[in-house]
Amino acid sequence: MRSFATNSRLALILVVCAAAGAAAAAGYGLTAPKRYRATAQLLVAPVSPSDPTFAGLDVLRDTGGKRTAAADVAALLHGPQLADAVAASLGLRRSRSSLEHALHVNVVDSSDVVDVTAEDSTRTGAAELANSFASALISQRSASFQSQLSNAIHRDETLLAAGADAAIARRLTTLKGFLGQPDPTVRVASEAASPGSSSWPKVPRLVGIGAAIGAAAGAVLALVLLALRGGGRVRPAEYDPAVSEAALEKLVDRLEARLLARESALAARERDVQAKLDELRQAAAAAAAPAKPDDSDLRGREEALLKRVEAVTKREAEMARHAAELALRERALAENEAAAAARAAAAAVAPEPVPIPTNGAAGTYSLTDLEELVARRGAEHPEKLEEWQSYLFFLRDYATSDGRIPASFDWLIADTFSDLL
């Protein structure tokens, strides 16, 4: 009968400790701040190493017979410049390390698909962060690809003018088809959507872990009680003569009193947790029209971005008009000089024709040198990279066949590319 009572007490200890651990874990899970995860996917289309079309261009390739292009994309997503570009595009004040810690990249089952997962405290924030990382990588890769593509087209045109074979002509035709296009070896396969539920905390999992920890603590306590009762040895029907039965009964009573006090404290803790849950439910029900700061912030950033694009477009149009006016004035001046020279030579016996410049005198700068500067050091100034790419595209219409830019544009280049010159 005494053995049955002892076993019942030990079982009660295990149950109480497991319940206490589960209750504490549930309280934490219900009150802890939630975290959300959203995933965008990138599809990598690597170029064969034996394909000569993109020779000399930094495109993604599988090497050594292995799928290394997707792994390269995963590594590029962890670059510090990409985190800075995402912070600038979303207007975030978070540190670079915080953004890198929130990003999780994974190549799906050794395939060409890369999962870009971002974690945030809001649903829309997680989706925006994942999509921004994917878009920023595409933008950086496309800008570098277009710069290298322009150089490759210029080199092929020079070779073709020097009498290159038909293979160069076919490659040149293919490369021109990629002008203004993004990097063909990586694209967004699917954009991230707002998650329906939080990724942390998982209340059932926490309750299970808490119950297991509580049960383990109860087992340790039960072993201690057994050691105190049996003196560390198993004796089925006799007590240690040095310890009286009355002393053992008092010890057991004290332990039972402590367990009852612990049970009362746990019950009070459960009541407090339940009251807190009721308050949270009432506060949620009382909010008739919850605000949506995420949507308003998103609209504000979109409006600011549209205004910035409009301002840059307006400035480029003004620059283009100014450059056109300077070119017209230069052409008129050249024509006047030619006319004056023709009149002066009319009295000579054998007048020589005076050449009329068609694009102005060659200036100080070369389009090829500027493109190489932007490709090599443009990442140091991400806030000006898009503007520099626009000016390089505009100056191609005025450069000569060897890449020289008219002197009328010297002041514009010195002002715009001052950080690189």
21 and 66 in a single domain? The answer is no
Name the β-bridge partners of 200: 35
Tally of residues, the chain:
421
Task: Tell me the Ramachandran region of residue 84: left when phi exceeds 0, alpha when psi lies from -120 to 50, beta otherwise.
Answer: alpha
Which of 159, 190, 221 is at the close of a domain? 190
> Would the CA dihedral through 407, 410, 411, 416 be positive or negative?
positive
pLDDT at 343: 65
126 and 138 in a single domain? The answer is yes
CA atoms within 13 A on the CB side of 274: 6
Which of 150, 165, 190 is at the close of a domain? 190
Q: Rounded to whole angstroms, how far apart are CA atoms 45 and 190?
A: 15
Which of 190, 213, 243 is at the close of a domain? 190
pLDDT at 126: 92
211 and 271 in a single domain? The answer is yes
Whether residue 358 lies inside any domain: the answer is yes
Closest CA to 114 of 49, 51, 185: 185
SS3 content of the chain, % helix, strand, coil (to 5): 65, 10, 25
CA angle 112, 186, 180 (to 5 degrees): 160
16 and 77 in a single domain? The answer is no
pLDDT at 346: 57
pLDDT at 308: 84
Whether residue 13 lies inside any domain: the answer is yes
pLDDT at 264: 82
Whether residue 304 lies inside any domain: the answer is no
Beta 113-120 vs 404-406: how paired, if at all? unpaired
178 and 234 in a single domain? The answer is no
18 and 43 in a single domain? The answer is no
* pTM tops 0.75, yes or no: no
pLDDT at 371: 92
Q: Which domain holds residue 186?
A: 36-190
Whether residue 377 lies inside any domain: the answer is yes
Question: N- to C-terminal Cα distance for the chain?
Answer: 96
Closest CA to 379 of 146, 186, 144, 152: 144
- H helix runs in 231-366, sequence order: 245-286, 293-345
pLDDT at 4: 61
175 and 65 in a single domain? The answer is yes
DSSP label at 200?
B
Q: Rounded to whole angstroms, how far apart are CA atoms 21 and 210?
A: 4
Whether residue 300 lies inside any domain: the answer is no
159 and 72 in a single domain? The answer is yes
Q: Rounded to whole angstroms, how far apart are CA atoms 69 and 301?
A: 34
Q: Rounded to whole angstroms, how far apart are CA atoms 251 and 244?
A: 11
369 and 232 in a single domain? The answer is no
154 and 43 in a single domain? The answer is yes
Whether residue 421 lies inside any domain: the answer is no
Per-residue pLDDT of the chain (421 residues; tens, 9 = 90+): 556 666 777 787 878 888 888 888 788 877 888 889 999 999 999 988 878 888 888 889 888 667 788 899 999 999 898 999 999 999 988 888 999 889 999 999 878 999 999 999 899 999 999 999 999 999 999 999 999 999 999 998 898 888 878 888 889 899 999 999 999 999 999 999 999 888 877 778 878 898 889 888 878 887 887 787 665 444 444 445 555 677 777 777 887 888 788 888 888 888 887 888 888 888 878 775 454 545 667 788 878 878 887 886 678 767 767 766 776 677 667 666 766 666 666 544 433 433 333 345 678 899 999 999 999 998 999 999 988 998 898 888 888 888 899 888 898 899 899 988 8
How many other CB atoms are there within 10 angstroms of residue 268's CB atom?
10
Q: Are 229 and 248 in contact (CB under 8 A)?
A: yes
We report the CATH number of the domain holding residue 88 as 3.30.1890
- The SS3 assignment for 51 reads coil
Q: Rounded to whole angstroms, how far apart are CA atoms 366 and 378?
A: 17
What are 386's two structure tokens? 């898009």
Please tell me the total count of domains within the chain: 3
Q: Rounded to whole angstroms, how far apart are CA atoms 265 and 173?
A: 81
Q: Are 104 and 28 in contact (CB under 8 A)?
A: no
110 and 139 in a single domain? The answer is yes
What are 262's two structure tokens? 């612990």
Distance of CA 107 to the CA centre of its chain: 15
185 and 78 in a single domain? The answer is yes
CA angle 158, 162, 165 (to 5 degrees): 95
Whether residue 293 lies inside any domain: the answer is no
Helices 203-230 and 2-31 cross at an angle (nearest 10°) of 150
pLDDT at 297: 73
Whether residue 81 lies inside any domain: the answer is yes
